[in-house]
Structure 1
Amino acid sequence: MRNRLGGARPKGLRKTSVHRKNLQIATFEGIPSTIFQVLLQGQFLTGFLLYLGASSSQIGFVIALTTLVNVAQIGVAFLIQKLPSRKWAMVTFIGLHRLLWGSTGLVPFIFPKEHWVTAFIVLYTIAFIANTAGGVLWSSVISDLVPARVRGRYFGIRNTFLNALGSLVMYGGGLVLDRYPGGHGFLILYIVVWIFSISNVIVFFFYPDVPFEKSEEKDFLPMLKKPLHDTLFMKSTLFLSAWLLLQNLTVPLYSYVMLQLLHINYETLSLLNVSQTIFMMASFYVWGNLNAKYSNKRLLLWTLPIIAVSSLLWGLLSVLPMLLVLFAAHIVFGMGVGGFNQLAFNFIIGDTPKKERPMYMAMYAALTGLAAFFGPLIGGRIYEWIHEWPHWTQVYGMQLIVGALMLALALLLGRRILKD
Structure 2
Amino acid sequence: MRSLINTKASTRRKASIQRRNLAIATWEGVPATIFLTLLGGQFLTGFLLYLGATSAQIGFVLAITTFVNVAQIAVAFLIQRLASRKWALVLFVAMHRILWGATGLVPFLFPKAYWVMAYIALYVVAFIFNTIGAMLWNSMISDIVPARVRGRYFGIRNTVLNALSTLVMFGGGMMLDRFPHAQGFLYLYIVVWVCAIANIVVFLFYPDVTFERSVESKFLPMLRKPLNDGLFMKSTLFLGSFLFLQNLVVPLYSYIMLELLHINYQTISLLNVTQTVFMMGSFYVWGNLNAKYSNRRLLFWTLPLIAFSILAWGGLSILPTLPVLFIAHMVFGVGVGGFNQLAFNFMIGDTPKSERPMYMAMYSAITGVASFFGPLLGGQVLEWIEHWPQWVQIFGMQVMVGGAMIILAVTFGRRILRDHY
TM-score (norm 1): 0.98
The aligned counterpart of 2:229 is 230
Match of 1:394 in 2: 393
Separation of aligned partners in 2, 1:192 and 1:52: 20
Alignment of 1:150-229 (within 5 A): 150-229=149-228
DSSP-derived class of the 1:210 partner: coil
Report the alpha carbon displacement of residue 12 of structure 1 after superposing the two structures with TM.
1.4
| Distance in 1 between residues matched to 2:159 and 2:273, nearest whole Å | 13
Which residue identity lines up with residue 241 of structure 2 in the other structure?
A: A
* Residue matched to 1:143: 142
Q: Which runs of 5+ in 2 are unaligned?
A: none
Q: CA deviation at 1:14?
A: 1.2
Does residue 409 in structure 1 map to residue 411 in structure 2?
Answer: no
2:239 is equivalent to residue 250 of structure 1: no
| Residue-by-residue CA offset, 1:197-222 (whole Å, 9 max, x unaligned) | 11000000000000000001001000
Distance 1:312 1:127 in 2: 34
Higher deviation after alignment, 8-17 or 84-93: 8-17
Distance 1:297 1:243 in 2: 14
Cα distance in structure 2, aligned partners of 1:154 and 1:9:
24
C-alpha distance in 1, partners of 2:132/2:235? Answer: 24
How far 1:9 sits from its partner (Å)? 5.6
d(CA) in 2 for partners of 1:230 and 1:322? 46
Q: In the TM superposition, what is the alpha-carbon distance from 1:373 to its structure 2 partner?
A: 0.2
Task: Give the Cα separation in 1 of the matches to 2:275 and 2:412.
Answer: 27
Q: After superposition, what is the alpha-carbon deviation per residue over 1:159-180, rounded to whole angstroms, capped at 9, x for unaligned?
A: 0000000000000000000000
Give the Cα–Cα distance (whole angstroms) in 2 for the partners of residues 412 and 83 of structure 1: 43
Give, in whole Å, the separation in 2 of the partners of 1:8 and 1:301. 44
Separation (CA, whole Å) in 2 of partners of 1:9 and 1:198: 40
For residue 8 of structure 1, report the CA deviation from its aligned partner: 8.4
User: 1:268 aligns to what?
Assistant: 267
Counterpart Cα distance in 1 of 2:141 and 2:87? 14
Cα distance between partner residues in 2 of 1:195 and 1:373: 30
1:11 CA displacement: 1.8
In structure 2, how many angstroms separate the alpha carbons of the residues matched to 1:407 and 1:241?
15
Structure-2 separation of matches of 1:337 and 1:93 = 28
CA deviation map 1:30-53 (0-9, x unaligned): 000000100000000000000000
Residues 7 and 389 (structure 1), Cα distance of their counterparts in 2 relative to 1, 3 Å cut: closer
Structure 1: 5+ residue stretches without partners: none
Q: Deviation digits for residues 172-195 of structure 1, max 9, x if unmatched?
A: 000000000001100000000000
| In 1: Cα distance, 2:383 partner to 2:268 partner | 22
1:39 maps to what in 2?
Answer: 38
Number of residue pairs the alignment of both structures matches: 416
Aligned twin of 1:311: 310
Counterparts of 1:316 and 1:137 in 2: how far apart (Å)? 43
CA distance in 1, matches of 2:327, 2:33: 25
* Alpha-carbon distance in structure 1 between the residues aligned to 2:61 and 2:128: 13
Superposed CA deviations along residues 255-276 of structure 1, whole A, max 9, x for unmatched, are 0000000000000000000000
SS at match of 1:94: helix
Distance 1:308 1:8 in 2: 52
Distance in 2 between residues matched to 1:82 and 1:314, nearest whole Å: 49
* 1:69-104 Cα shifts (integer Å, max 9, x gaps): 000000000000000110000000000000000000
Structure 1 segments, 4+ long, off by >3 Å, are: 6-9
The SS at the match of 2:184 is helix
Cα distance in 1 for partners of 2:55, 2:94 equals 30
**Which amino acid in structure 2 is aligned with residue 254 of structure 1?**
Y
Distance in 2 (CA, whole Å) between partners of 1:156 and 1:401 is 33
Q: Which deviations, in whole Å up to 9, do the C-alpha atoms of 1:98-129 show, x marking residues without a partner?
A: 00000000000000000000000000000000
Q: In structure 1, what is the Cα distance between the partners aligned to 2:277 and 2:117?
A: 35
**Is 1:373 aligned to 2:344, yes or no?**
no
- Tell me, in whole angstroms, the C-alpha distance in 2 between the residues paired with 1:181 and 1:169: 17
Q: Percent identity?
A: 69
C-alpha distance in 1 between matches for 2:250 and 2:35: 21
User: What residue number does 2:356 align with?
Assistant: 357
Q: Secondary structure at the match of 2:401?
A: helix
1:16 to 1:390, Cα distance in 2 relative to 1, 3 A: same
Structure 1 residue 10 displacement after superposition: 2.1
Q: Structure 1, residues 143-166: CA drift from partner, whole Å, max 9, x if none?
A: 000000000010000000000000
**Which SS does the other structure have where 1:96 is aligned?**
helix
CA deviation digits over 1:318-373, x for unaligned, max 9? Answer: 11110000000000000000000000000000000000000000000000000000
Aligned to 2:276: 277
Trace 1:333-348 onto structure 2 (pairs within 5 A). Answer: 333-348=332-347
What letter matches 1:216 in structure 2? V
Report the residue type matching 1:307 in the other structure.
Answer: I
Helix, strand or coil at the partner of 1:194? helix
